[in-house]
Amino acid sequence: MQDEQSLVRRAQQHDQEAFAQLYEEHFDKIYRYVALRIGNETEAEDMTQQVFLNALQSISSFRWKGIPFSAWLFRIAHNQAVDYLRRKKHTAVPLDESLASNDNTPQLVAEHKLDIEQLLLAAKQLTEAQREVISLRFTSELSIAQVAKVMGKSQGAVKALQHSAIVALRRALSVTENENK
Amino acid sequence: MKTSKEFDNILNECLERLLVKGETIEQCLQSYPEQAAELKPLLQTALVVKKASAIQPRAEFKAKARYQFRSALQEVASRRSRPFFGWLPRWATVVTIVLILLLAGGGTVAAAGNSMPDNPLYPVKLATEQVRLVLTPSQLGKARLCARLADRRVAEIIYMANKGDAHQVELITQRLDKRLVMLAVLALALKADGAPKVLAPAPAEEAGGDRGTYAQPNNRAKLRMAVAYYAANHPAALRAVLEKAPESVKLALLRAIAVSETGYKRALEALD
């Protein structure tokens, strides 16, 4: 945290290398979060870039008040995702075929893609808050404390949301599996 | 029987052990045998979700995004390195460039304005553009100039593609990318600051051409319209060239198309 605090302070003082380091550390997580939230690779790529351009523009407004830098970045990503979904009027967007894991084995990629599709389908059954918790916890690997900061909720509320989200996903995934049989 | 809150805590602890520390479901269940029946299906679901969501950005996209972000960093740094009282040395540089250009003859500058990258006057054209960018006082004016310069770059790409010069197409595409990144950064700054109420006039773009007052309230809307126009036309124009272009330049042209599509989209989003 101390290192990150120092990096952010340097970035706020227009140290390009410090900002570039923050960019490298957070890029993949922000991309994963956005991709799962909106389910479209091309849009997720553009939106991820936009998140960092916005961060670059407004980093001077960031203040350390117990909120980690990542929470601030995810907040920007969250706002952009909400804007995007509002523009799309919550229309389900099919996930691009090119969304793939690092695993290059064709069979595994195919299986993985099936999982992503199932997950997106199942995620539609969740509330917006539940989807947010799942995206932040499982794709971006944020701790409960960090998710609580991003969402502006207590840790207890986030744990309860996490629980209900997994229960809802379990139910939805079972339905999806049964439909595919 | 544990309360719901206690169970939420147990579930969260098991998720941490499972997903962060790499323990197995069985290890978690052994710690909480009373809750095992309820925990097991939830932890199994969490593992499936974790696996499904382990997506990574494409390496090609990451490289492109990194380059564009570095360009934006440099652009922001160069804007910030020009405080009101710290600009005299830069002014001196600009005046020197202008004097050189004037000494070379006003006709030279005018002639360079329409030169293409294979013309000896092309570096004069680029230098003149740079001077204009520095001298344009407002962010809105700079953004408008960036849009016009992007338009020039696209015309140059088309010209050089028709000549079969892939190397020049690549070089100009890099300049196009730089202008579009700058346009997006300026648009974001305009959004953050709010539209200025009264702005100084921008220098004339072309002879007898646009000399905007920038005091009109709808200038941002006009900028957006211009960018939307370019966003619709530039990729289409490049695609039209792609159909007839020599094979040797097609790859470079495809990159130019991608750069223009992404760049304009980002700029339009920033202007929304």
pLDDT in tens, B181-234: 889 888 887 776 654 333 333 333 333 334 333 335 577 788 888 899 899 889
Q: Which of A108-112, B15-19, B50-54, B188-192 is least confident? A: A108-112
Query: In chain B, what are the domain boundaries?
Result: 62-79+138-271
Write the residue in A50, A116, A144 that is nearest to B52 by C-beta: A116
Q: What is the ipTM of this complex?
A: 0.72
Close Cβ partners of B52 (under 8 Å, ≥ 6 residues apart): A112, A115, A116, A118, A119
In this prediction, residue B20 has a pLDDT band, given cuts at 50, 70 and 90, of: confident
pTM of the shown model: 0.59
Tens of pLDDT, residue by residue over A116-165, are 667 777 777 888 889 889 888 887 778 898 888 888 899 999 999 999 99
**Which chain A residues have a beta carbon less than 8 Å from that of B57?**
27-28, 31, 45, 48
The single-letter DSSP state of residue B204 is P
**Which chain A residues have a beta carbon less than 8 Å from that of B80?**
14
CA A55, A61, A66, A67 torsion: positive or negative?
A: negative
Structure tokens at B37: 């029946």
Interchain pair B11, A167: CB under 8 A: no
Alpha-carbon distance B93 to nearest alpha carbon in chain A (angstroms): 23
Structure tokens at B125: 């054209």
Q: How far apart are CA B245 and CA B161, in angstroms?
A: 6
How deeply is B184 buried, as exposed, middle or buried, from its count of CB atoms within 10 A (0-12, 13-18, 19+)?
buried
Q: State the residue range of the domain holding A141.
A: 2-180
Structure tokens at B63: 């490289």
Close Cβ partners of A118 (under 8 Å, ≥ 6 residues apart): A173, A176, A177, A180, B52
CB atoms within 10 A of CB B84: 5
Q: How far apart are CA A156 and CA A132, in angstroms?
A: 15
CA distances B128 to A144, B5, B186, Å, are: 54, 68, 20
**Chain A to chain B, count of Cβ pairs less than 8 Å apart?**
138
Domains: count for chain A: 1
In this prediction, residue A27 has a pLDDT band, given cuts at 50, 70 and 90, of: very high
Alpha helices in chain B (DSSP H): 4-15, 25-31, 36-52, 59-80, 88-104, 106-113, 122-135, 139-162, 166-193, 219-244, 247-271
Interchain pair B76, A23: CB under 8 A: no
Q: What is the CATH classification number for the domain harbouring A130?
A: 1.10.1740.10
Interchain pair B7, A163: CB under 8 A: yes
Mutating which of B16, B73, B188 best tests the A interface, going by the most A Cβ atoms within 10 A?
B73
Q: What residues 136-175 of chain A have any CB closer than 8 A to a CB of chain B? A: 137-139, 141, 143-144, 156, 159-160, 162-163, 166-167, 169-170, 173
Q: Is A90 left (phi over 0), alpha (psi -120 to 50) or beta?
A: left
Q: What residues 4-63 of chain A have any CB closer than 8 A to a CB of chain B? A: 14, 16, 19-20, 23-24, 27-28, 31-32, 35-36, 41, 45-46, 48-50, 52-54, 56-58
Structure tokens at B78: 């160069």
Do residues B127 and B99 make contact, with C-beta atoms less than 8 angstroms apart?
no
Q: What residues 64-93 of chain A have any CB closer than 8 A to a CB of chain B? A: none
Tens of pLDDT, residue by residue over A47-106, are 898 899 889 888 888 887 767 788 889 889 988 888 888 877 655 444 444 443 333 333
Write the residue in A46, A119, A173 that is nearest to B265 by C-beta: A46
